[in-house]
Amino acid sequence: LVRLFCDRWNVIGADLLNEPWGATWGEGKPMTDWDTAAAQLGNEILHECPRWLIFVEGIGTGSKEGGTFCDLCFWGENLLGLSHTHLTLSNPARLVYSPHAYGPGTNSKMHYFNRSAYPEYPDNMPAVWEAHFLRPARAAGGTVVVGEWGGVYEGADELWQDRFKAFLLEEKLSSFYWALNPNSGDTGGLLLSDWRTAHKAKQALV
């Protein structure tokens, strides 16, 4: 795939693996350590296509032993491992950390979405995003591009997305919105079910 697409002007990089939720980070476990696998994969790609960016997502729950445990992280959001184990590529300038973040429209069980416990919601959310991915990535000197965010854009989820957009602007972060297609079951899309009509509220958001 790298050899096929490297010269295509509109292909800018490789997202190595979507939401490695069962992985560990920096624990010396060759079968599950995502940081080690991502470095190896990234270097193989850069050997074939030096111009590409290498997008590395966070892990899922992580582990208590490895200091990455986060049962309140969405899959792909957890970059806590960067606090003790950095990821190094042959060309560090090509590395991009790419966490995923979602709101209550995708999983309403996260306690920080509880508006009784957090009457200031969604203004409690920036501290969560900073802890889960932004602070560890910046401490490691990394570039951050949010690889996925989105949702149904109704009720509490609409509040979440509005606040996340503001957070992206405040922190000067680029991002990719999920999704264009309307058949993404837990988020919907930027297109309505006829695959032609734009979801006007989401279109205005992005």
SS3 of 195, please? coil
| Residue 120 annotated to the active site | no
From the candidates 57, 77, 148, 158, which is the catalytic residue? 148
Q: Which residues of 18-43 are buried (b: 16+ CB within 10 A; e: fewer)?
A: ebbbebbbbbeeeebbbbbbbbebbe
Cite the DSSP H helix spans in 49-110.
none
Instruction: Return the percent helix, strand and coil in the chain, to nearest 5.
Output: 35, 15, 55
Q: Per the residue annotation, which of 19, 27, 57, 77 is the catalytic one?
A: 19
Name which of 156, 143, 148, 132 is nearest 206 in CA terms: 148
- The torsion defined by the Cα of 177, 180, 183 and 189, in degrees rounded to 10, comes to 60
Would you say 181 and 118 are in contact if contact means Cβ atoms under 8 Å apart?
A: no
Per the annotation, the verdict on 148 as an active-site residue is: yes
On whether the CB atoms of residues 27 and 33 are closer than 8 A, the answer is yes
Is residue 23 a contact partner of residue 68, using CB atoms and an 8 Å limit? no
3-class DSSP state of 42: helix
Active site residues: 19, 148
